[in-house]
Amino acid sequence: VIDRDRLLERIETLGAIGRDPEGRLSRIAATDADKAGRDQLVRWLTDAGLEIIVDRIGNIFGAWRPDRCRHAAPLMLGSHIDTVVDAGQLDGAYGVLAALEVIEALKAGGAPVSRPVMVGAFTNEEGARFSPDMMGSLVYAGGLSPDAALGSRDRDGVTLGADLARIGYAGTAEPGFARPHAFVELHIEQGPVLEREGAAIGVVENLQGISWRRITISGMANHAGTTPMSMRSDAGLAAALVTTFVHQQAKAIGPRSVATVGALKLEPNVINVIPSRATLTVDLRDPDEAKLRRAEAGLAAMLARTAGEHGLRIETERLARFEPVAFDPDLCNLIETLATERGLTTRRMTSGAGHDAQMMARLCPTAMIFVPSRDGISHNPREHTDPGELAAGAQLLLDVAASLIGA
């Protein structure tokens, strides 16, 4: 069985690592804060007697390879331990630490297992500093070359490769070095559905498509007082028009379409200067690929119109684009059956958030287990799941793992 107290204690311990000067939890990929979290994880993996493997993109793996089945395709569990800025302590970390508990329980259980079990902590799942997000698992699954990923730059021009080397996690193993028999990721829902419906477990059948872009709007700085409204090339106005457009468009496209302008910078950012430049990001998502394409096309047309009407130059850079992913039906059925056997209510659902599982689904049968998020809140320090729900999710992951390796 899962050591519930140790899991909860490790979540708290890891959750205290990587606070920024304002005291916010911000283990941004390949920063010193991320290193501190990585080092703590490696200590726990080592203490558990696992083989530590770090690949070229900095993905960390702990492997339990019993001699009797050493060369069989491994069952892989895991998630990520990097976070957004001012994060909660469960997003990602919960899935990694629960996976470690599962392996420790399987080892202690002593059952003759039919395949190795690995836990992975993938680099830069959040994409808060380097794009695209889910980068480590994307590289592991062969969707992006290690060199291209290592060459990705943050807004200060620092490459991921340079910082992974700096923090001591520029590994040597080739990403994709082990093709898993299956991949299962346990994660908090980060949305309101399970709590609203009183379900204990989310059986995630699919994951929506994601489209990220950075838009740079160039206008002309001018005097806020002397420039008539009809003579302005106001980049700040255009940024506001884009934000309201993508919101209205998402509502028009359908109830499952979402749009977010998460980052916005105005230059020169002075009260009495008409902004000469606006840089903003747009995150569009939809479980239906055709609708996501419609949202992208609608935005592109709006940008062309806006540039013409307001005398602006508008450039778009694509940061990430992932099509919707369907998870493995047999794994979903197994999760649902085992949850029901534990007396847990289940709800089949789509993931609104991106996850490493969507990349691993390119490599092997993959599925996800969700536990409820209080008030549906995530990417926020108020992120919370009750201890009993966290333990139930970890126990279910153990049941699924045991079933998949014949323990």
Q: What is the CA radius of gyration of the chain?
A: 22
Residue closer to ligand HGY (CB basis): 105 or 215: 215
Q: Is 287 in the site for ligand HGY (CB under 6 A)?
A: no
The yes or no reply on residue 125 touching ligand HGY (CB under 6 A) is yes
Residue 286 site contact among ligand HGY, Mn ion, none (CB < 5 to 8 Å, cut-off depends on kind):
none
| Closer Cβ to Mn ion, 207 or 407, answer by number | 207
- From ligand HGY, Mn ion, none, interface partner of 92 (C-beta below 5 to 8 A by class): Mn ion
Distance CA 232, CA 234 (A): 5
| Residue partners of 378: CB distance under 8 A and separation at least 6 | 88, 90, 91, 188, 189, 190, 191, 353
Contact status, residue 313 vs residue 307, Cβ threshold 8 Å: yes
- Type and span of the H or E element at 247: helix 235-253
Question: Which residues lie near Mn ion (CB under 5 A)?
Answer: 91-92
User: Tokens in use for 242?
Assistant: 């884009």
Q: Which of 104, 122, 105 is nearest to 47 (CA)?
A: 104
Residue 343 CB-density burial (10 A; 0-12 exposed, 13-18 middle, 19+ buried): exposed
Q: How far is the CB of 176 from Mn ion (least distance, A)?
A: 21
Q: Which of 243, 325, 320, 247 is nearest to 288 (CA)?
A: 325
Of 125 and 286, nearer to ligand HGY (C-beta) is 125
Q: Give me the least distance between CB of 236 and ligand HGY, in Å please.
A: 26
Q: Which window, 61-69, 120-128, 178-186, 325-333, contacts ligand HGY (CB under 6 A)?
A: 120-128
Give the residue with the Cβ less far from ligand HGY, 34 or 133.
133
- Tokens representing residue 103 in the block: 């392996």
Stretch that binds ligand HGY, among 15-23, 62-70, 119-127, 328-336 (CB under 6 A): 119-127
| CA distances, 341 to each of 177, 243, 284 (Å) | 35, 47, 38
- Complex with ligand HGY: residue 236 or 352, whichever CB lies closer: 352
Helix/strand/coil for 186: strand
Give CA 365 to chain center in angstroms.
Answer: 19
Least gap, CB of 212 to ligand HGY (angstroms): 8
Residue with Cβ nearer ligand HGY (351 or 395): 351
As separate numbers, helices (DSSP H) first and strands (DSSP E) second, the chain gives: 12, 14
Which CB atom, from 92 or from 365, has the smaller least distance to Mn ion? 92
Nearer to ligand HGY, 120 or 127 (CB): 127
Element (H, E) at 348: strand 346-351
Q: Strands 258-260, 366-371: parallel, antiparallel or unpaired by DSSP?
A: unpaired
In the complex, minimum distance from the CB of residue 2 to Mn ion, in angstroms, rounded to a whole number: 21
55 touches which of ligand HGY, Mn ion, none (CB within 5 to 8 A by kind)? none
Least separation in angstroms between CB 65 and Mn ion: 27
Q: How far is the CB of 354 from ligand HGY (least distance, A)?
A: 3
Residue placing its CB nearer to Mn ion in the complex, 187 or 213: 187
Residues 55, 101, 126, 234: which binds ligand HGY (CB under 6 A)? 126
Count of residues in contact with ligand HGY, rule CB under 6 A: 6
- Residue 127 interacting with ligand HGY (CB under 6 A): yes
DSSP code at position 273: B
Piece of the chain touching ligand HGY by CB under 6 A; list 37-45, 93-101, 123-131, 152-160? 123-131
Q: Which does 127 bind (CB under 5 to 8 A by kind): ligand HGY, Mn ion, none?
A: ligand HGY
SS3 content of the chain, % helix, strand, coil (to 5): 40, 25, 40
The option from ligand HGY, Mn ion, none interacting with 275 (CB < 5 to 8 A, set by class) reads none
Taking the least distance from each CB to Mn ion, the nearer of 92 and 209 is 92
Per-residue interface string for the shown chain with ligand HGY, residues 344-373, x marking contact by CB under 6 A: ---------xx-------------------
- Least Cβ distance, residue 262 to ligand HGY (angstroms): 9
Q: Following DSSP, what letter does each residue of 72-138 receive, concatenated?
A: SPPEEEEE-----TT--S-TTHHHHHHHHHHHHHHHHH----SS-EEEEE-TTSS-SSSSSSSHHHH
In the complex, the residues that contact ligand HGY under the rule CB under 6 A are: 125-127, 133, 353-354
